[in-house]
Structure 1
């Protein structure tokens, strides 16, 4: 009787060990599959990040902040952020009553005001303007003088037409 109990215990322990061995193997295969899937996703994300970084660098190519030659023109002025200073001066032209004097159109739905500004280099600005319904773009030449005054000259302009 004692021998049969030990035999049953041994068989039961062997079945538990076999079950543990098989389930651990299956779990290990599943985990390895998950790891491979995650590694491929990480590689895909790394590629996406690299493409996004290259796109950002491409977008920033025409920018005063990234143009050392253009920034050299303003070293003697001791401006911390020349681009921001020029943008602020251009936005001050919006404060006048009526349309912005740099915009050669009369507002149809209100006054035309400058919205977005991109300082390209030490001489040119791209700007977007709108009256809330109609919009357009400007190319502006500017001169930042030693007394920190800024002269703006309109070079070209475009008003988009609505197809309604």
Structure 2
């Protein structure tokens, strides 16, 4: 009798664990799909843009870091970032986050600590690794 109860108990535990595994696999699938959606517009997942840079002789990941660093490094203490077409009202305008969408476009957000906005930047990598930036569009959110 004890062996039968023990087997039933183990079988119940196994079934519960199988249900948990199934639930976790469903969550993992959902998170994977969400991640794919979120990274769709990203240089990291754009094979054509990566190939474009590789054909120019660049490692796309290293180049992306270099470009992001070039933009953020223009944040200087006591000065607005010159890429941002707005003057800081409550401090200096600085770029916080940069995302390369592909081999030609960047989005970035900026703030002065109170006001914030976003930029749409067109960029071009020229011979010798020189990068030209042009702010195509920008906006400043209204203060609440």
Fold in common (TM above 0.5): yes
Q: Per-residue CA shift, 1:17-57, capped at 9, x if unaligned?
A: xxxxx233222212211110110110010111111111111
What is the TM-score of this pair, normalised by structure 2?
A: 0.89
Distance in 2 separating the partners of 1:69 and 1:92: 28
> Which structure has greater helix proportion?
1
Of the two, which has the highest radius of gyration? 1
Contact 1:86 1:150 in 2 (8 A): yes
64, 79, 104: which is aligned to 2:43? 64
Structure 2: tracts of 5 or more residues without a match? none
Change (3 A) 1:96 1:125: farther
Q: Where does residue 57 of structure 2 map in the other structure?
A: 77
Q: Does 1:53 align with 2:32?
A: yes
Q: How many residues align?
A: 142
Change (3 A) 1:144 1:137: same
Q: Where does residue 134 of structure 2 map in the other structure?
A: 153
User: Counterparts in 2 of 1:1-164, with a 5 A limit?
Assistant: 22-75=1-54, 76-79=56-59, 81-95=62-76, 97-163=78-144
Distance in 2 separating the partners of 1:42 and 1:88: 42
Distance in 2 separating the partners of 1:28 and 1:39: 16
RMSD over aligned Cα atoms: 1.7
Structure 1: tracts of 5 or more residues without a match? 1-21
Q: By how many angstroms is 1:97 displaced?
A: 4.8
